[in-house]
Structure 1
Amino acid sequence: MESDELEAREWLISCITIPLSTAIILANLVIIVGILYNRQLHNTPNYFFLSLLVADLCTGVALPFIPRMALERSLNFHTCLLVHTFPNFLFLSYLFNLVMVHYERYLCIVSPLHYSQCWVHRCFPVALLAAWVPPLLYASLPAFGWNEWSQDEINVNGTLNQTVGATGCAVDPLDDNGMCSYRKVFPTAYIYLEVYGLLLPAIFLIAGMTGRVLWITRKQLRDICKLHRAGVRDQASVGEQRLNVRYAKCVAAVSLVFLLCWVPYVIYVNVTLKWLKADGKSQNSTTHIILCCTGIGSMAIIPFILGLANRQYTDPARKCC
């Protein structure tokens, strides 16, 4: 019976994630080719965006494996760590790259005259490493001992019955028939630290920078309109109306992206933490699988939406079509 339920959940995950994963991978490849094809786009801002596209492509590849992290499977210790920590690293690197892209564009708009002197522009390799190295270090913590296996062995047997390698890490506490679960790989404190210390602050930071950019744009638009009205005797012109319409469209687009891409993921995170605080058994349910697939999948399409905003990225694809 348990085997049939596991197969049904695996089938549901595949039906939802494979189309999403394929679309994300193809969309990122199209924009990556567009950036590499156009030499005019070979500059620091587009290198940051290219790094984001690579991270998003990797997230698309790992998307079918992320919902499976909540399923209990028969895996050995090393394989269990790999199938949990590696997708987590790809997802965190995607989020860090997304923050870095928004931060770079935020600096460009807030201080355009001093942008070339900012550390993001002058120390591009350091900024790029800041988007990849911290996620790798944090995702690797379970492999360096921050997991539940050693604690379980101590609680059950009173001693640590596992082999310790040369690095001091616990090795193979499970045999080939052991059950692998995210609850053994990620302690509760690790999950809460990742959610409240990394994920949600990153989302709020992106939202704050986007809101600040829209506020600055609105202020500049008002100044332009005042200057224009001073020259045409306080009469609104067609050009002023067009500017207001374009700004309204921009605000509507940003709001729509936030509702479609960020809200499902925030709901998924809060529901997951609620189940985790209860007993964790509901995390294998159909509702949790659907929330996980749609929440992460919707957030992974943000780079594609940002890429569509720049026609230079999609010029090769349009020419081919």
Structure 2
Amino acid sequence: QRVMKMQLLEYDEAELCFPQLLNVSCKKHKRPHSETLLVYIVLSFISSLTVVLNVLVIISISHFRQLHTPTNFFLLSLAVSDFLVGLLAMPFHILVTEPCWFLGDLVCVLHYFLPNVTLCASVVNMVLISFDRYVAICDPLHYPTRITVNRVQICVVLCWVCCVFYSFLILYDNLKQPGRYNSCYGECVINLIGAVDIVLGFIIPVSIIIILYVRVFVVAVSQARAMRSHIAAVTLQRSGTVTVKKSEMKAARNLGVVVAVFLMCYCPSYCFSLSGYDLTISYSTNILFFLLLFNTCLNPVIYAFFYPWFRKSVKLIVTLEILQLNSCMINVL
């Protein structure tokens, strides 16, 4: 019997995150080795891809003077926030997928604080980009006077300041007393103010983006119809009809990609949080949280890869032509 008790005790200790703390230690959630390896490979690949894609955007806009426009400065701010997610937030999130958390309560809180700042900045930058495109298409005559480089820089700075304050607000209890929501040692649990996060972090920005893009879509369609009328005056009516259909389809496709991908990555987590005012983040919600992070990998594809100048600048970067003298003056448009 003594031998059996010793074996059971050793078995229980092997199942604990901190065997020396028998009564207060969390139990390990064992997973198959193949599953753990797959998670590491997938998350590491996405993290690396996010960093590389956003670095290309940052270098392109920063280096080539032709790209120093108000719209591209918004894209640059978006790329910086997404780059930080890939460089810092995603590697820490890989550690959260482990059965136990060994980095302490303070690091646990900071590990969620940083992604909240960068993800918030990413969402606000999307709103700013939507507003920029709205003014450019719906009010092109006043665009140069309303959207200036100085105003854009001020908006970007305010964006980051507000995101830091917002993250501090929703994580205040956790920052004030790290680990207060942990039920045992070896756990990393964060409690968010769900109502504030849903309204300020999802409903308001998503509503603004949809309203602005719908307005842009309506104006684009009306412009296509005006062009059809102009073409119909000098060519066959059938030719004009084909032109407007192509224009409407292109506008609808671009709008659908932007809005659908954003909602696809953000809706699952926020719909889950609608079940209650307080959302507790733990091992069970890691997939939803990573889906939010994954959107930062898709942003460069959505907002930059659709532009011809990006493909030209990437070619110059890869071939190291940007190292040549006065390469910043190269025509990439």
Structure 2 length normalisation: TM-score? 0.73
User: Aligned residue for 2:291?
Assistant: 294
**Cα displacement string for residues 48-74 of structure 1 (whole angstroms, at most 9, x for unaligned residues):** 211111111112221343476698735
Contact 2:70–2:152 (CA<8 Å) still a contact in 1? yes
Distance in 2 between the 1:173 and 1:241 partners?
A: 63
User: Aligned residue for 2:139?
Assistant: 111
**Cα displacement string for residues 168-219 of structure 1 (whole angstroms, at most 9, x for unaligned residues):** x668989xx9555333xx34xx232012222232122112211111110001
Unaligned runs of 5+ in 2: 1-14, 16-26, 320-333
Deviation of residue 277 (structure 1)? Answer: 6.4
CA spacing shift, 1:67–1:242, aligned 2, 3 Å: farther
User: Aligned residue for 2:30?
Assistant: 5
Instruction: State the secondary structure of the residue aligned to 1:229.
Output: helix
| 1:18-167 matched pairs, under 5 angstroms | 18-61=44-87, 62-66=89-93, 73-118=101-146, 121-141=149-169, 146-147=172-173
User: Aligned residue for 1:312?
Assistant: 309
User: Aligned residue for 1:182?
Assistant: 189
CA spacing shift, 1:293–1:78, aligned 2, 3 Å: closer
CA spacing shift, 1:81–1:37, aligned 2, 3 Å: same
Question: Higher Cα Rg: structure 1 or 2?
Answer: 2
Letter of the structure 2 residue corresponding to residue 314 of structure 1: R
CA spacing shift, 1:12–1:90, aligned 2, 3 Å: farther
CA spacing shift, 1:135–1:280, aligned 2, 3 Å: closer
CA spacing shift, 1:240–1:202, aligned 2, 3 Å: same
Instruction: State the secondary structure of the residue aligned to 1:3.
Output: coil
Root-mean-square deviation (Å): 3.5
User: Aligned residue for 1:156?
Assistant: none
Of the candidates 213, 216, 221, which is equivalent to residue 219 of structure 2? 216
Contact 2:74–2:129 (CA<8 Å) still a contact in 1? yes
Letter of the structure 2 residue corresponding to residue 139 of structure 1: S
Distance in 1 between the 2:96 and 2:194 partners?
A: 13
Deviation of residue 231 (structure 1)? Answer: 2.8
User: Aligned residue for 1:153?
Assistant: none
Deviation of residue 243 (structure 1)? Answer: 4.7
Worse-superposed segment, 264-273 or 102-111: 264-273
Contact 2:124–2:159 (CA<8 Å) still a contact in 1? yes
Contact 2:228–2:243 (CA<8 Å) still a contact in 1? no
Distance in 2 between the 1:261 and 1:170 partners?
A: 33
Distance in 2 between the 1:92 and 1:289 partners?
A: 18
Distance in 2 between the 1:201 and 1:112 partners?
A: 26
Instruction: State the secondary structure of the residue aligned to 2:57.
Output: helix
CA spacing shift, 1:300–1:211, aligned 2, 3 Å: farther
Instruction: State the secondary structure of the residue aligned to 1:30.
Output: helix
Letter of the structure 2 residue corresponding to residue 182 of structure 1: V
Instruction: State the secondary structure of the residue aligned to 1:73.
Output: coil
CA spacing shift, 1:136–1:246, aligned 2, 3 Å: same
User: Aligned residue for 2:237?
Assistant: 235
CA spacing shift, 1:68–1:271, aligned 2, 3 Å: farther
CA spacing shift, 1:219–1:28, aligned 2, 3 Å: same
Distance in 2 between the 1:279 and 1:54 partners?
A: 28
Contact 1:308–1:314 (CA<8 Å) still a contact in 2? yes
Distance in 1 between the 2:314 and 2:178 partners?
A: 49
Distance in 2 between the 1:140 and 1:226 partners?
A: 54
Unaligned runs of 5+ in 1: 150-168
User: Aligned residue for 1:284?
Assistant: 283
Distance in 2 between the 1:292 and 1:172 partners?
A: 19
Deviation of residue 121 (structure 1)? Answer: 4.9
Worse-superposed segment, 288-297 or 21-30: 288-297
Structure 1 length normalisation: TM-score? 0.75
Distance in 2 between the 1:31 and 1:50 partners?
A: 7
